[in-house]
A and B are shown apart, each in its own frame.
Chain A
Amino acid sequence: MISGATANIEFYLPLVWAIIIGVAVVMYVLMDGFDLGIGILFSVNKDEHERDLMMSSVAPFWDGNETWLVMGGAGLFVAFPAAYALFMPALYLPIIVMLLALVFRGVAFEFHVVAGPQKHYWHTAFWLGSTLAAFCQGVILGGLIQGIPAKDGAFAGGAFDWATPFSALCGLGVVAGYALLGATWLAMKVEGPVAERMRQHAKFLIPVVLVLMGAVSLWTPLAFDRIAQRWFSTPNIYFLWPVPLLTALLAYAAWRWLDAGREVPPFLATMGLFLLGFLGLAISVFPYLIPPSLTIWQAAAAPDSQFFMLAGTLVLLPLILGYVVFVYWLFRGKVAAGASYH
């Protein structure tokens, strides 16, 4: 063992960075989640004017929301280049397809407004792009949880290792989850019949999401010993049993709030569901960044690099969060039907 201060820094820096990247991923999932969810909900909403209204509720934010995805990718490259180099080739196809889907739905934000008579094409692009991107994100998550084999630090598996029933289940889970986020966001941000329908969609989606989350939660310990060990060995089980219980309680609360016509609490509760889901995954995977090949310490960049970046991050991240909050506050309130884009 290396003694003293060096050892401490080499222990804590990767941990701090794992938390920062975790925050970036959570921010991404929560923020781009509702904005992808709106696209997914286009599948049950064909009316062009309502679709315009739904998109306008996120138009000022979507750029900033997707920036968290860049933050996640860049953060991984900065702090854990070995993990980045293993993760990207292993999940090559779903990552590229996700990015292409994001291209399509991203440009739709500007294109659908100027497209005139071809508007409906870009609405379709937004719908399909959002849905496919969400599904791919779930597949990527599933591909990561089930593990990525490595040899001499390089990916040592096949091009389709990620394509399993388990990763498909995760894909469905993320699509349903994002749709739920989108529905509760819209119930909060728009008025009239659209908001009412969104409340109905959300009430339908809550049990769907719970079932999918439950299926993933049961599948992982059954299929992967390391995850069963983490959750069901003593003394862990005594600390961990509240996680699923809280999830169920929060889902019930969200359902009741929707029933009562409340606007903000269902959205917050849905975000809470995602946070708990993420916490559960982190518990399952820790201390691995890329199970079962790399722990966060094995994947860490040179302490110098992590430290150089950390100094800036600690100053800039609060500032960024500050102006993100400011913009959400600036565009607060309802986007009413009739005050459409045109």
Chain B
Amino acid sequence: MDLDATILARIQFAFTISFHIIFPSFTIGLSAYIATLLVTWKITGRDHFHRLARFWTRIFAVSFAMGVVSGIVLSYQIGTNWSRFSVVTGNVLGPLLGYEVLTAFFLEATFLGIMLFGWNRVPPWLHVFSAVAVAVGTAISAFWILSANSWMQTPAGFEMRDGIAFPTDWVAIVFNPSFPYRLAHMLTASYLTAGFVVLAVGARYWLANRHHEEARTMLVMAIGLTAVLAPLQLLIGDQHGLNTLQHQPIKIAAIEGHWDGSKPGAFEIFAWPNEKTESNDYSISIPNVASLLLTHHLDGLFPGLKSVPPSERPPVANVFFAFRIMVGIGLFMIASALFGTWLIWRKRLYGTRWYLHIMSHTWWIGFVAILAGWVVTEQGRQPWLVQGLLRTADAISPVPAASIATTLALFVLIYGVVFTAGIIFINRLIKAGPPDATAEPQRVGTPARPISAAGDAGGVLR
């Protein structure tokens, strides 16, 4: 196929998958939070945990719906856009995606019905169980999807016959070399993302002098979670990077803006990688620190971009900048979570309004960090679709560029409308807030009819 179709197919796929990943990365974390709230409520019997769970479940419902519909699109787009990829890797990757559907998708989708509509319909233990099942389902889903993605980065356990991959060792395929790191990194990122959303909402309510009890619980739970996970994520990310250096050294060279492998790598704080001159413009860097981080020696050497011809290099600037955005947000998360913990310890959290002000505006940082991280890992793998096996340009479907361009425009239009509406509605739900303690409806034993998950807030709005 001509280049135009390849680029259009890539843009279209990048657009739909970036749109999609926003929702699972939020709902993986949020479902775990809701399950935690409900289990805590079951144990302590304190009602505000239950009110909080109801509140977040409405937001979860809207996000999950957007995640489901954009996910269905992807399971078909692999074939519509990358049919050669399907043929070459189907024997290996097909079962991984199949197991995702069987072990996770059905679990989530089915128990979601009980979680959203079972508040008054099923005994509390079954409702709590459903929330846990949904949370576990989302994590299992991540397990399979990240296994498949990791296999594309570090393929293992297969042999090539007539240009098609055949499985030889399923354990090696599923637990391929980069998988444990990627799974840990992504799950932690999801929990952090949800943590910062909860933190922002808690701060917003506290500053607006509303829902005091709920705001306190959200702030303390979110700060506690992120104070553990944000530093941990730095450690996981570091290990992930070392693993990448071993298997995909050129990706690391792009991340570091490291051109010449015969010299130790400098840590580039800022630079503009110039692919024409094969050097960095406007560089502000600390000599030898990249070598120290990656090889644990100041003089350690690691491959540079010039060790391969330009056609074998990823788009350096994108990878380079996306990595810095991700790490910058990560460091901000660590600082704000640890500072928040210190404020809690000094019993000054609720009086430090400037801190709560900043945090009330940081709900989006996790999403940006995740998108940036995926840019690093996916663009960093280019020009390969499956590292060393299949080039992106060879994986394309025989579909005319005009068809792809038309559907791309439709995707942008429709996702734009859906996304905007979704954000507006989630914002409305947040404005409406958790149900009041006094208005809490009878919970147990009433044979009521299904009530919409998001319904109460709709009522408040009118």
Q: Mark B401-431, 1 if CB is under 8 A from A, else 0.
A: 0110011001100110010011001001100
**CB-defined contacts of A317 to chain B, threshold 8 Å:** 102
Given A103-B418, A308-B167, check contact A341 B451 (CB 8 Å): yes
Could you tell me if A302 and B91 are in contact, using CB atoms closer than 8 angstroms? yes
Q: Which of B64, B87, B92, B455 touches A85 (beta carbons < 8 Å)? A: B87
Q: Which of B94, B121, B428 touches A114 (beta carbons < 8 Å)? A: B428
Could you tell me if B421 and A111 are in contact, using CB atoms closer than 8 angstroms? yes
- Is B239 interfacial (CB-CB < 8 Å)? no
Given A86-B83, A96-B80, A327-B113, check contact A114 B458 (CB 8 Å): yes
Inter-chain CA distance A177–B170, complex, in Å, is 43
Give chain A nearest CB distance to B178 CB in angstroms. Answer: 21
Q: Which of A59, A95, A159 touches B400 (beta carbons < 8 Å)? A: A159
**CB-defined contacts of B92 to chain A, threshold 8 Å:** 305
Inter-chain CA distance A87–B76, complex, in Å, is 10
- Is A88 interfacial (CB-CB < 8 Å)? yes
- Is B116 interfacial (CB-CB < 8 Å)? yes
Inter-chain CA distance A56–B117, complex, in Å, is 10
- Is A153 interfacial (CB-CB < 8 Å)? yes
Inter-chain CA distance A300–B421, complex, in Å, is 42
Number of interchain pairs (Cβ within 8 Å): 263
- Is A214 interfacial (CB-CB < 8 Å)? no
Could you tell me if B69 and A103 are in contact, using CB atoms closer than 8 angstroms? yes
Could you tell me if B94 and A79 are in contact, using CB atoms closer than 8 angstroms? yes
Given A84-B79, A103-B69, check contact A305 B62 (CB 8 Å): no
Inter-chain CA distance A222–B28, complex, in Å, is 53
Could you tell me if B410 and A342 are in contact, using CB atoms closer than 8 angstroms? no
Could you tell me if B166 and A111 are in contact, using CB atoms closer than 8 angstroms? no
Could you tell me if B117 and A309 are in contact, using CB atoms closer than 8 angstroms? no
Given A74-B75, A339-B449, check contact A305 B87 (CB 8 Å): no
- B residues 82-97 touching A (CB-CB < 8 Å): 83-84, 86-87, 90-95, 97
Inter-chain CA distance A64–B109, complex, in Å, is 5
Give chain A nearest CB distance to B112 CB in angstroms. Answer: 5
Interface centre among A56, A110, A341 (most CB of B within 10 A): A110
Query: Which of A4-12, A245-253, A276-284, A329-337 lies at the binding interface?
Result: A329-337
Give the dominant DSSP class at A's interface: helix
Could you tell me if A110 and B69 are in contact, using CB atoms closer than 8 angstroms? no
Inter-chain CA distance A106–B92, complex, in Å, is 31
Q: Which of B62, B72, B118, B461 touches A66 (beta carbons < 8 Å)? A: B72
Given A63-B112, A110-B61, A309-B95, check contact A304 B167 (CB 8 Å): yes
Could you tell me if A84 and B86 are in contact, using CB atoms closer than 8 angstroms? yes
Could you tell me if B117 and A308 are in contact, using CB atoms closer than 8 angstroms? no
- Is B101 interfacial (CB-CB < 8 Å)? yes
The count of residues in chain B whose C-beta lies closer than 8 Å to any C-beta of chain A is 83
Given A88-B83, A89-B397, check contact A323 B110 (CB 8 Å): yes
Given A64-B109, A107-B66, A111-B422, check contact A88 B397 (CB 8 Å): yes
Inter-chain CA distance A323–B75, complex, in Å, is 23
- Is A236 interfacial (CB-CB < 8 Å)? no
Give chain A nearest CB distance to B95 CB in angstroms. Answer: 4
Could you tell me if B95 and A67 are in contact, using CB atoms closer than 8 angstroms? no
**CB-defined contacts of A60 to chain B, threshold 8 Å:** 113-114, 116-117, 450
Give chain B nearest CB distance to A115 CB in angstroms. Answer: 7
Q: Name the residue on B nearest A101 (C-beta).
A: B414
Q: Which of B100, B117, B428, B459 touches A331 (beta carbons < 8 Å)? A: B117
Inter-chain CA distance A9–B99, complex, in Å, is 22
**CB-defined contacts of A292 to chain B, threshold 8 Å:** none
Inter-chain CA distance A78–B78, complex, in Å, is 12
- Is A73 interfacial (CB-CB < 8 Å)? yes
Interface centre among B95, B99, B418 (most CB of A within 10 A): B95
- Is B73 interfacial (CB-CB < 8 Å)? yes
Given A85-B87, A96-B80, check contact A305 B455 (CB 8 Å): no
Q: Which 6 A-B pairs have the closest CB atoms?
A: A81-B90, A88-B79, A78-B94, A60-B113, A85-B83, A106-B69
Chain A residues near B (Cβ < 8 Å): 56, 59-61, 63-64, 66-67, 69-71, 73-75, 77-79, 81-82, 84-89, 92-93, 95-97, 99-100, 102-104, 106-107, 109-111, 113-117, 153-156, 159, 301-302, 304-305, 308-309, 312-313, 316-317, 320, 323-324, 326-327, 330-331, 335-336, 339, 341-342
5 contacting pairs across A/B (C-beta < 8 A): A63-B64, A103-B69, A114-B62, A305-B95, A331-B117
